[in-house]
Amino acid sequence: MPLNLLAQVNITVYNERLAIVLGFITLIFVLATLLSCRSFVSFLKLIRIKNPLDNRIFKSFYKYHSFYWYGFILSVILHLLVGIMHVRVSDPADPDAYLHSYILIAGAAAFLVSIVIYLSCRSFAVFLNIVQGKSPFSGKLFNASFRWHDYYWILLIVAVSVHFSLIYTHTGIWVN
């Protein structure tokens, strides 16, 4: 590809669109992780919905909870990197470029909350058990974090909602 043709490509628009596509992939992984979490199963029981683990299809979905985490971690890192590249080469003529910092702050908050969720997850406990050779449930720090695992999901839902709202305000999901 000739170098002058590369110079004509508006890399900002493509980075923005790639960030949005990766964001939707990340959203799919975060929803798969949430819906396969024991917290979600407990919530369903709380609102008097029949135990979803009795359903063969849901049970097969549920057993891959740890793998959804790996997909989420990979997609969120790619989403973050492309988002940062978009902001770095941002068009100064963009009238709502000021939203970039708010989008990044909301995304960073969601990312930090998701790390806290993972660190309080049973999937992480299994990983710690393999690495340390002892159950993390015997430690006070993990137990204290694990106790709040359900509530961390609420914080993540709020952070992702703010992030998504700001993105929609900025892009309108490809108006142009």
Tokens of residue 156, six digits: 């993540």
- How does pLDDT run across 69-96, given as a tens digit for each residue? 999 999 999 998 888 887 766 566 667 7
3-state secondary structure of 176: coil
Dihedral (C-alpha) 113, 152, 30, 118: value to the nearest 10 degrees? 70
CA distances from 3 to 7, 8, 9, 71, 113 (A): 7, 9, 10, 35, 42
Is residue 5 over pLDDT 60?
Answer: no
Tell me the pTM.
0.78
DSSP structural state of residue 133: S
Q: What is the pLDDT of residue 8?
A: 45
Token look-up 């406990």 returns 125
Most confidently modeled of 7-11, 43-47, 49-53, 57-61? 57-61
Label residue 13 left, alpha or beta by phi (over 0 means left) and psi (-120 to 50 means alpha).
alpha
Greatest pairwise CA separation for the chain in angstroms: 63
Cβ 16 vs Cβ 172: under 8 Å: no
Who wins on pLDDT, 97 or 99? 99
Who wins on pLDDT, 105 or 128? 105
Taking residues 135-155, report their average pLDDT.
Answer: 77
Kindly state the percentage of the chain with pLDDT values over 90: 26
User: Among 15, 4, 176, which residue's Cα sits nearest to residue 89?
Assistant: 15
Q: What is the pLDDT of residue 91?
A: 61
d(CA 146, CA 16): 36
Please give the mean pLDDT across all residues of the chain.
81
